[in-house]
Structure 1
Amino acid sequence: MMFIKWHPFFVLGTLLCISGMSVGIKCWHCISKDCQLDPSENYKAVKKQCLTGQYCQKVYYSMYSTMDNMVYESTVRGCAWDCLPKDDFQNCSSELHGSRGCVTRNCCRDNDLCNQGSRTNSVLTSSHLSCLFLLVLSSYFVT
């Protein structure tokens, strides 16, 4: 009968990979005035645990109202399913700005609270990099 000797680094790396993939990331959540401010210094912004598979998003919206000749702006941060990056401001005409408004949406899930700024997706998350490091490290100790 053959027994496999499991090295502690391999076991730890495997457990971290499994647990890191089953828990969603934390995102800044803010739906009120002043959400454009740095969320770490904004008492209206809270850290929220997202569901597995969700993205963090930051959405900036701007619309010109012909009723009162005012520009209305809003920034919202939160968790989202199937977040698709968008930037209407590249082609935001005065007609678009005055009818339905223009939107910039940044999506990320590369680390917790990544919707603080405007960074977008990265290929590997920090938890995946940690798992990869531990699994590679364990391969050096397996005999």
Structure 2
Amino acid sequence: MLALICLMLATPVFAQGSGPTPALANRQLPDPAQEAEATKLMHSLRCIQCQGQSIADSDAHMAGTMRAEVRQQIAAGQKPEAIRGWMIARYGEWVSFEPDMKGAGLLLWLTPLLVLIAGIWLARGLFRRGA
């Protein structure tokens, strides 16, 4: 029984990632221009395991897999926009730190403006009432 409880408690440890780390996860591309493109893209993609870090900054196994995928596609001649689209299609819109200007992304971009307009409207009403 104790062994079963210990195994259940250790399950999150086993969930960290399995298998070898992909070759390009922690190794830069030989072409500096391609590596610069890959790095810029990696800083704009969120690690789906860490949720708060970019794949460039995360040490999670999943982030390494995502970094390797970005570098492989850049080395194969894919454009960063196409790779971003592929990542979004695979992992969902949440993976991007820079949401698109459509759907839920549009709401994220417009919310600060709407809050500002509502604040001005409320302040205007308070000042009129006080005068």
- Name the TM-score, length of structure 1 as normaliser: 0.25
User: Larger % of strand: which?
Assistant: 1
- Asked which structure has the greater RCO (Cα within 8 Å, sep 6+), the reply is 1
